[in-house]
Structure 1
Amino acid sequence: MVDELPHVLWAHRTMPKTSNRETPFSLTYGTEAMIPAEIGEPTRRTLQGEKGYEEDLRLNLNLVEERREEAARREVEYKKKEIEKYYNARVREVKFKKGDLVLRENGATRKEDQGKLGPKWEGPYQVTWAGDKGAYKLADLAGKEIPWTWNSMQLRKYYA
């Protein structure tokens, strides 16, 4: 099992990563690795000779910083997209209509900290206006308008 470790590491270092589309080897050394089978076969890299290969290597080393910056940018973009996908898969969209009874999150209006056992929701309130983008205006059951607008993430359906 330990004998296989160098082969596994080699495979890991020479495989392009999904997040940045680069291999760890190329980001470290500025050029792609030559696999053992490529050394014996005639390829552009093996046929151009020592002098031409050194010139290509120097050019790649000059551009390695740009490649690293571009890979970092692609990785940030990829991670942002994956986080957004993860979040959106778990968000449940709730639509309330005018007249629905709801509870609102207690955090915005809590005057004093009631500890972790204090109530998390308060209400019920009645929806008096429902915007098309998830914004709502509320009133208490006596009809007194509650200041501010609320979004659906701060509201829960009230079941009497």
Structure 2
Amino acid sequence: MLWSIRTTATKPTGETPFFLVYGAEAVLPHKVRRRSTRVLAFDEAQQGAMWGTDLVLGEERRREAALRAARYQQALWRYHCRNIRPRTLEVGDLVLRRVLSWEGLHKLSPMWEGPFKVVHVSRPGAARLETQERVPVPNAWNIQHLRRFYP
């Protein structure tokens, strides 16, 4: 499993992790056994003369991979900023809470419970709740497990 991960080109860099570490592409074991053209073309005497060239070309490919990875990260950031809208809750809002424990429930059970009232927003992503009967709910809840309730 690790061998396949290390010898497969990744999307952000366009290179294999094996190449980025060792500066050369891996020769897979089945290619050695079957005597592929790459294995047959290998010459130990020429390899010493080409070593310096391989180092320079390897560094250049690593720099290109770093640039591709930076472009990939920027594209991910632009996608995130374009498609993710921040959600905020204020004191007094009515919310539904996601059912986190499916113990004793079946597949047709509701995925949300409530409504609950927000009594305190401790930080932008967390809120303390209470039931309609003014019973406080233990622990603060992350906003990703809450959604606004419209009566």
TM-score, normalised by the number of residues in structure 2: 0.56
2:137 counterpart of 1:127: no
2:141 counterpart of 1:150: yes
Kindly state the Cα deviation for residue 128 of structure 1 after the two structures are TM-superposed: 1.2
2:76 counterpart of 1:79: no
Residue identity matched to 2:55: N
The aligned residue for residue 110 of structure 1 is: 102
SS in 1 for 2:62: helix
Kindly state the Cα deviation for residue 95 of structure 1 after the two structures are TM-superposed: 1.6
What per-residue deviation string (whole Å, max 9, x for no partner) do you get for residues 91-115 of structure 1? 2222211111101122x23334532
Partners of 2:66 and 2:129 lie apart in 1 by 43
Residue identity matched to 2:138: P
**Distance of aligned partners of 1:58 and 1:110 in 2 relative to their CA distance in 1, 3 Å threshold:** closer
Q: Which runs of 5+ in 2 are unaligned?
A: 1-11, 14-49
Residue identity matched to 1:65: G
Q: Which runs of 5+ in 1 are unaligned?
A: 1-18, 21-56
Kindly state the Cα deviation for residue 125 of structure 1 after the two structures are TM-superposed: 0.6
Partners of 2:147 and 2:114 lie apart in 1 by 10
Contact 2:88 2:124 in 1 (8 A): no
Residues paired across the two proteins, number? 104
Partners of 1:136 and 1:91 lie apart in 2 by 20
Q: How does 1:14-25 map to 2 (within 5 A)?
A: none
Kindly state the Cα deviation for residue 74 of structure 1 after the two structures are TM-superposed: 2.7
**Distance of aligned partners of 1:150 and 1:77 in 2 relative to their CA distance in 1, 3 Å threshold:** farther
Kindly state the Cα deviation for residue 60 of structure 1 after the two structures are TM-superposed: 5.3
Larger radius of gyration, structure 1 or 2? Answer: 1
What per-residue deviation string (whole Å, max 9, x for no partner) do you get for residues 45-101 of structure 1? xxxxxxxxxxxx986543111122222233233223322321232222222111111
Partners of 1:59 and 1:138 lie apart in 2 by 66
